[in-house]
Structure 1
Amino acid sequence: MAHPKEVAGFKLGKLLIEGKTKQVFDLPEETGHCILINKDRITAGDGVKAHDMEGKAAISNQTNAKVFEILKAAGIPTAFVKIASPVAFISKKCDMVPIEWVTRRLATGSFLKRNPGVPEGYRFTPPKQETFFKDDANHDPQWSEEQIVSAKFTFNGLVIGQDEVDYMRNVTILVFEILEKAWGLRDCALIDMKIEFGVDADGKILLADVIDSDSWRLWPSGDKRLMVDKQVYRNLSTVTAADLDTVKRNFAWVKDQLDHLRPKVHHKVVIIMGSAADVEHCQKIGKAAKKFGLDVDMRVTSAHKATEETLHIMKQYEDTHGALVFIAVAGRSNGLGPVLSGNTSYPVINCPPPSSNLVQDIWSSLSLPSGLGCATVIYPDSAAVMAAQIIGVQDYIVWARIRFNQLEMAASLRVADKKVRNLSIE
């Protein structure tokens, strides 16, 4: 295949790698970036079966971009930057970890061959995660985590040890669960999928490479007979032009369906403070909430001094939002949270502002009249997390941001633990 000199105004540097379905070029004028150019080529069986498929490169490019935009919205760190042309996209330059990370919800395909006795369709809860060493000559053998750690792969100064394997495993499962929830919006079952990671110049692990219809099994309505993924091509004993057209139509259908996988829940988190003096506390709540992608409003009113106005504000939001959470910020005798809770069917969270009398004042938030159900937290970030958990029941992007935040907290503890382990005691 001839090497182009320029794509969409980007001057290409040296060819970094060429695979069965893509080329990767350096971008000398875009430091730290490269460009991936898809090919009109479909393969199976480590390239033993291969055919040209006109238009596949463009379909793959758009599919990949749409998938990565969903994952980026969910907070997953990725190498993907943007589409550069109909068949190419810009990526951060990474040294690739030579492992395929596979997640399975149902047992099918190669898993059944490697695990005789397990019936097809066996459901893995939680999802099953497997790893395979990228080696076409040996058909990508399955590797254990112990093998990966023992290999001591080093990329851009980062040694892949147990902590790094734990991180990639957790991100792999989260990526699967995000896309599983996304495809669920179109009544499609994500059966299994594979992803890869790279390490950028700063030593950070990023989700990288390509995610398209070559990467997963996808069964509309959970029916294997309706599969719309690459398995259709793999199953062909002979391949005709009509067969390739069917595969191409399936891939195009998947690409188009991705436009409908974003949550359509119209949500709002309303922080209502009893006094403008509490605005700093409320801004802390709002800032923490926005990290989860929440849409936040702040209002000032008093349940004691302006009861009718308080209820009017509440009704305004009830009439215009599908997913709604009120956060009441009131000190001293907190009537705000209980009044809201007693007059709305939406959740209310009390988060009283800090004060020297907080220990005494907080009882007005905790000791509620019967029939009321507002929760009480002290810290602004706790109120934001609780609001995100409520909205996340209906919005998988918010749910995913919570999950990734939990993953990052665990990862930071492992980093701190590693430093402490290496400290000398004098």
Structure 2
Amino acid sequence: MTQPNVVTVTFSEPNKGEVIIEGKTKIVHAIVGDPGHVMVLNKDRITAGDGAKAHELKGKAAISNDTNAKVFTFLQQAGIKTSFVQSCGETSYKSRRCDMIPLEWVTRRVATGSFLRRHTGVTEGYRFTPPKMETFYKDDENHDPQWSEEQILEARMNVGGIIIGRNEYDIMARTTVTVFEVLERAWAALDCALIDMKIEFGIDTETKEILVSDTIDSDSWRLWPSGDKRLMKDKQVYRNLEKVTEEGLNQVKRNFQWVADKLESFIPTPRGLVVVLMGSPSDATHCEKIRDHCRKLGVPCELRVTSAHKGTTETLSIIAQYEGMAIPIVFIAVAGRSNGLGPVTCANTCCPVINCPPLKPEEAARDVWSSLSLPSGMGCGTVLYPEAAAQSAAAILALSDHVIWAKIRAKQLNLWTSLKLADQKMCKSN
């Protein structure tokens, strides 16, 4: 049942080639003999105001690299597609080579900062539900102007041979909000409010997939511990320095290190458990499918054999054993014909119970009623497929586990994206 925290493994630095592009805070190098990847080298430099304000901050590169690796590792473990591959040095990381889309995608939960300047009359602290999404065209000389959905579509940007049209916009928009929501819940579990954040996308030069790309570090978001703006730990502290002193820069660095340290706890040891109770070992194949689907969602799952009809005392003993663990438990009852296992379990526990009877098609219409028609005072649900049972159990545990919630949210995104791409392919073939 144990699961490690976010662990970022550092590999040896690859043989870096020519500089592809150099920005204010990082340099992107080609990798000799590996055209599909690049090496991103962070700088000990902090900037604000499109580079108008800039200072050297020794140690920032290592902190940014550490932060970025932990965030992208978390997103990838959830199932979100990104360009990040691995850390390859204290201040560098390896990434899929992408043609970058010149847009910043910003998601806001709370109105603050530039939003208030652009929308006079909105009170700071106004909460956006659902989150507010904005897009900005990357152009330092013109201070990254805000672009509307219509402007992006009309621009018909050609990035790596891909025209940014309706499908590409929709995929990036939906992914942007998903990234924000999974990180928001993870930070909330650490009593820290994610106020807003920005991300960028790239087109993989080989696969032509749209990937969450660039760097996500303390330059990318606003973080308010306990939801208190006075405790902010993000780059806004640097922006607010009227006179930049060594002590002021050290405070910014301490804040950034605080964020990197907190990210160690993004993936806690899971506390929840799904217990599949099968009435007969002949149902093992059905139950193993449930366990497999649970594992895909990061949900620990155990299988037990017990019969409520033939061994009622033993069934109650097993239920009591798991209740005594004092962790969130979901029971899934697998019993065909006359299903006494689910109702008996439900009547003797306060834990959620899901029926998933292994029904044969020719007997389903008759046997399913023993799972559906319950005495008063009971409320176990019934599903017919192993994947549905695992998904239902995971959703219950996700109420108190942000890691499971993130996997479910990413799964929804990937299913939606696959349908979007399938429709696009079908339209082209018409």
- The equivalent residue for 1:207 is 212
Which among 417, 421, 424 is matched to residue 415 of structure 1? 421
User: Matched residues in 1 for 2:304 and 2:158: separation?
Assistant: 52
1:256-335 matches, cutoff 5 A? 256-320=261-325, 322-335=327-340
Q: Deviations over 1:270-313 (max 9, x none)?
A: 11211222222222222222221111112222111111222222
Stretch of structure 1 that moved more, 414-423 or 26-35: 414-423
* Residues 189, 402 of structure 2: 8 Å contact kept: no
Residue-pair matches, total? 418
Which among 232, 236, 240 is matched to residue 241 of structure 2? 236
Q: Does 1:386 align with 2:392?
A: yes
- The equivalent residue for 1:176 is 180
Q: Deviations over 1:73-126 (max 9, x none)?
A: 221111111111111111111111111000111111111111111111111111
- Scaled by the length of structure 2, the TM-score of the pair is 0.93
One-letter identity of the residue aligned with 1:118: V
* Residues 105, 190 of structure 1: 8 Å contact kept: yes
Q: What 5-or-longer segments of structure 1 have no aligned partner? A: 1-6
Stretch of structure 1 that moved more, 112-121 or 414-423: 414-423
Q: Deviations over 1:202-241 (max 9, x none)?
A: 0111111111111111112222222111111111222111
Stretch of structure 1 that moved more, 410-419 or 357-366: 410-419
Q: Deviations over 1:55-77 (max 9, x none)?
A: 11111111111111221222111
* Residues 155, 199 of structure 1: 8 Å contact kept: yes
* Residues 127, 173 of structure 1: 8 Å contact kept: yes
* Residues 27, 34 of structure 1: 8 Å contact kept: yes
Q: What 5-or-longer segments of structure 2 have no aligned partner? A: 1-10
1:102-251 matches, cutoff 5 A? 102-200=106-204, 201-251=206-256
One-letter identity of the residue aligned with 2:36: G
Q: Percent identity?
A: 58
* Residues 265, 323 of structure 1: 8 Å contact kept: no
Other structure's SS at 2:307 match = coil
Stretch of structure 1 that moved more, 270-279 or 406-415: 406-415
* Residues 266, 321 of structure 1: 8 Å contact kept: no
- Scaled by the length of structure 1, the TM-score of the pair is 0.94
* Residues 281, 305 of structure 2: 8 Å contact kept: yes
User: Matched residues in 2 for 1:57 and 1:421: separation?
Assistant: 46
Other structure's SS at 2:17 match = coil
* Residues 28, 41 of structure 2: 8 Å contact kept: yes
Q: Which runs of 4+ in 1 moved over 4 A?
A: none
- The equivalent residue for 1:4 is none
User: Matched residues in 2 for 1:25 and 1:150: separation?
Assistant: 32
One-letter identity of the residue aligned with 2:38: C
User: Matched residues in 2 for 1:414 and 1:257: separation?
Assistant: 36
One-letter identity of the residue aligned with 2:231: L
User: Matched residues in 2 for 1:342 and 1:158: separation?
Assistant: 57
Q: Deviations over 1:250-279 (max 9, x none)?
A: 111111122223345411111121122222
Other structure's SS at 1:218 match = strand
Q: Does 1:27 align with 2:31?
A: yes
- The equivalent residue for 2:105 is 101
User: Matched residues in 2 for 1:317 and 1:156: separation?
Assistant: 54
User: Matched residues in 1 for 2:251 and 2:415: separation?
Assistant: 45
1:16-55 matches, cutoff 5 A? 16-55=20-59
Other structure's SS at 1:286 match = helix
Q: Does 1:372 align with 2:378?
A: yes
- The equivalent residue for 1:3 is none
User: Matched residues in 2 for 1:16 and 1:412: separation?
Assistant: 32
Distance 1:158 1:327, change over 3 A: farther
Which among 343, 354, 358 is matched to residue 353 of structure 1? 358
User: Matched residues in 2 for 1:38 and 1:191: separation?
Assistant: 25
User: Matched residues in 2 for 1:423 and 1:335: separation?
Assistant: 52
1:8-19 matches, cutoff 5 A? 8-19=12-23
User: Matched residues in 2 for 1:35 and 1:304: separation?
Assistant: 62
Other structure's SS at 1:43 match = strand
* Residues 156, 202 of structure 1: 8 Å contact kept: no
TM superposition shift of 1:135:
0.8
User: Matched residues in 2 for 1:207 and 1:412: separation?
Assistant: 16
Q: Deviations over 1:174-220 (max 9, x none)?
A: 11111211111232211111011112120111111111111111112
User: Matched residues in 1 for 2:75 and 2:23: separation?
Assistant: 24
Stretch of structure 1 that moved more, 401-410 or 256-265: 256-265
